[in-house]
Chain A
Amino acid sequence: MSRVDYSARISTFAIIGKFAIALIAVVVTQGILSFKFKVFGYFDLPLICSVFYGFTLGNPIASILIGSSLGLMQDSLSGAVLGANGLSKTLIGFFAATAVSKFAVDQPVTRIFALFLFSIGDGILVTILGLMLNSAGANAMYGCALSRWLLSATFNTLLGLVLFGYHDRWSDART
């Protein structure tokens, strides 16, 4: 193997490793914060992360894989149906990445709409799948589902905007 191939492979592994660590950190942080602060139960860090990587990478394949992994880890740490969040975050990752070529995703208005709609969509899809399988946590149809979706979407949008803002500032500083 030539020296160039070897270093390229090392570099690829390093990037995948960094991504894996970041994704695990997101899911673990979500679990810990929701446990320590009840209000954090309304946030969905894996969702924000899926949208974030979709927008910043603009690569549908990577975004699908990231969303899929995040969702699967999220499902495993909760009592939810295994695959429900995986399916939802996969679609979110894909749509976020494809939106890059169609919309100006660096505009705050676009980000607000995207985060809000993705959050609502995620809530509806995961709840419906949960209800279909009668899983733990499928608490729709009890009057609180709609208000929870809206609250969660608002929180996710606000946090997402802050994180995107930090990313923009950090990118500008590097360039």
Chain B
Amino acid sequence: MSRTVVESKKPVWIVLTVALVIHTGLISLQGRRRIDTSFVRMWILDSLAPMEKLVDRSTHGLWSVWNGYIALIGLHGENDRLKRENDALRMQIANEHESVLEAQRVLALNGLPAAGMGRTLVARVIGRDAGRSQTVTIDKGLAHGVKPDSAVITAAGVVGRVIQSSNFFSIVQLITDSQSAVAVLLESNREQGIIKGNGGAILDLDYIDDDNALKEGDKFLTSGMDKVYPKGLPLGTITSIGARRGLIKTVEIRPAADLGRLEEVLLVVDRPQSSEVADPTFQGPVLP
């Protein structure tokens, strides 16, 4: 192995000290939050992410060719099955449509604004942090209207929220990250609670008004109380309920969205004011 040991030690210590001071300075600036250091992250993210996007597009292209031409064995049978499934779902939608119309009429009669998702944006996941944080990089940034704290979702459920944005790229903190917390409600009895990530693949129930009614298979939806996620999005399903730890039971929740296989996600960039906070005390209109 080739070795070129530097003769004089003095410049080494100077360079080491300068490097350590720069990094310590960056860290302490973020701690005190007196000076915004996000411009450094923005520059580097805007410089590196295009390359990440290029590599991702290339591999995606190759994968598409494979999937589109080579891996089509058994397609006819699957097509028939999907057609049958599609017919069943169409019938289900037709039935549900009446209920939606009825709900809209009731809201209009009571002068309540209709809840909505707001303006959304489709983004592509182009990278994932390999380190200790549960974050992914997406190909939309400030220039596309993305703001910090924009909710990120898929059709299956909640993915996370934007924590850093450069002009053209953003970093999304997944709900499984240990610093993530989401305000939720239990689908069955509307109990409000908070679910936190733990850095692993599952989520932990951090707080709930009453945990006696919890059972495996129960689903949690976002409550909208955190002002990040719109109300009513699927968050996860209870997979196990353990012994009481402190005030509440140990409850493990599997995320509704498959966070390990994210490709395209939806960003909620502009939420309507009406859906930002759901009133938990609202019991329905007072009838005369």
A residues sitting closer than 8 Å to B (CB atoms) are 24, 27-36, 38, 40-45, 55-61, 64-65, 68, 71-87, 90-91, 94, 100-101, 105-106, 123, 126-127, 129-130, 132-139, 142, 144-145, 148, 167-168, 171
Instruction: Let me know if A79 and B49 touch, CB within 8 A.
Output: no
Q: Which 3 A-B pairs have the closest CB atoms?
A: A137-B133, A139-B199, A83-B26
Which residues of chain B have C-beta atoms less than 8 A from A29's C-beta?
55
| B167 sits at the interface (CB 8 A) | no
Given contacts A133-B30, A139-B200, A148-B132, 17 further A-B contacts (CB under 8 A): A28-B127, A35-B126, A35-B136, A40-B130, A57-B2, A58-B5, A61-B15, A73-B44, A76-B40, A79-B171, A80-B133, A82-B27, A129-B27, A133-B27, A133-B31, A139-B134, A144-B198
Residue of A nearest to B18 (CB): A64
Instruction: Let me know if B198 and A82 touch, CB within 8 A.
Output: no
Instruction: Let me know if A61 and B6 touch, CB within 8 A.
Output: yes
Q: What 0/1 readout, one digit per residue, does chain B (2-23) give for beta carbons within 8 Å of chain A?
A: 1111100001100110011011
Q: How large is the interface on B (under 10, 10 to 19, 20 to 34, 35 or more residues)?
A: 35 or more
Which residues of chain B have C-beta atoms less than 8 A from A55's C-beta?
1
| B186 sits at the interface (CB 8 A) | no
Which residues of chain B have C-beta atoms less than 8 A from A68's C-beta?
19, 22-23
| CA A34 to CA B5, docked complex, whole Å | 35
Instruction: Let me know if A137 and B55 touch, CB within 8 A.
Output: no
Instruction: Let me know if A82 and B37 touch, CB within 8 A.
Output: yes
Tell me which of B23, B127, B199, B200 contacts A34 (CB under 8 A).
B127
Interface-lining segment among B92-100, B173-181, B231-239:
B173-181
